[in-house]
Structure 1
Amino acid sequence: MLVTLACSLEVNALSVKKLKKVINDNIAELVPALTSGLSFYSESARYAEDSLEILDIVPQGDGGYSMSYRYKWGIFNACLDINSEDIINDSVRFRVTARGLIFDIIDNSRPSTADEL
């Protein structure tokens, strides 16, 4: 799944520091896509608001970048006596284009019943 983060910066003039600032300024747009895998832990798993943090951005040989990030999540289920919090570390690749930053994110959303039929 490709997610575009629109930005109006000169494509060739972006340093890693500038990329990190652009992403941090617009991180709310990426949160749903970057945290979509929580449903595989449990339907009760929840992202802890404002916990997504960029750890590192590394240029790749093909002109793209790899971004490492982490976020907190929690799960509460009183019936099963579960109340837990943890941190997930993950990474995602993206590239810089004239339209903005295009993130190549694995689609972890569960298929609907209609999709399964």
Structure 2
Amino acid sequence: MENEPEYGASLVPNLSHISFLAKNHTGIDIDDVTHLVGNQYQLTYRYQWSIYNGCADMDLDGEESTTVSFTMDDLGSIKFNIHDNEARDTLDEF
């Protein structure tokens, strides 16, 4: 998918459930695109996150994988079906 730089950052979710310091600087890595039916597809991708806090001597890295469905029109325009979920916090993880 040649336009990944245009939409990749928009597919990385809010990382506050990991830490308010968690950041993604690399966009996404596409693993697979699957045709579902008609003009509907599913994208499987990974994104990396990092946390750096020099004051706490913390330098962590991680990676998560997820999927999103999308449609593509006849002109090749892509519309992702992203649910606008509320931000999660660490209490949601328990």
Return 5+ residue gaps in structure 1 as ranges.
1-23, 111-117
* Structure 1 stretches of at least 4 aligned residues deviating more than 4 Å after TM superposition: none
CA positional deviation for 1:108: 4.7
1:4-43 equivalences in 2 (<5 Å)? 24-43=1-20
Amino acid at match of 1:27: E
Structure 1 Cα separation of the partners of residues 8 and 24 of structure 2? 9
Percentage of matched positions with identical amino acids: 28
**Counterpart pick for 2:79 among 83, 93, 102:** 102
Aligned to 1:67: 43
For the residues of structure 1 that align with 2:48 and 2:74, how far apart are their CA atoms? 32
State the TM-score, normalized to the length of structure 2: 0.73
Question: Which of 16, 26, 38 is the matching residue for 1:49?
Answer: 26
Question: 1:63: Cα distance to partner?
Answer: 4.1
Query: Residue 89 of structure 1: which of 42, 45, 65 is its match?
Result: 65
SS at match of 2:45: strand
Distance verdict in 2 for CA 1:104–1:31, change over 3 Å: same
What is the CA distance between 1:79 and its match in structure 2?
A: 4.0
Q: Which of the residues 11, 34, 39 maps onto 1:58? A: 34
Structure 2 unpaired stretches of 5+: 88-94
Q: Which of the two has greater helix per residue?
A: 1
- What is the root-mean-square deviation in Å for CA atoms of aligned residues? 2.2
Deviations 1:6-50 (A, max 9, x none): xxxxxxxxxxxxxxxxxx321122123211321332221111325
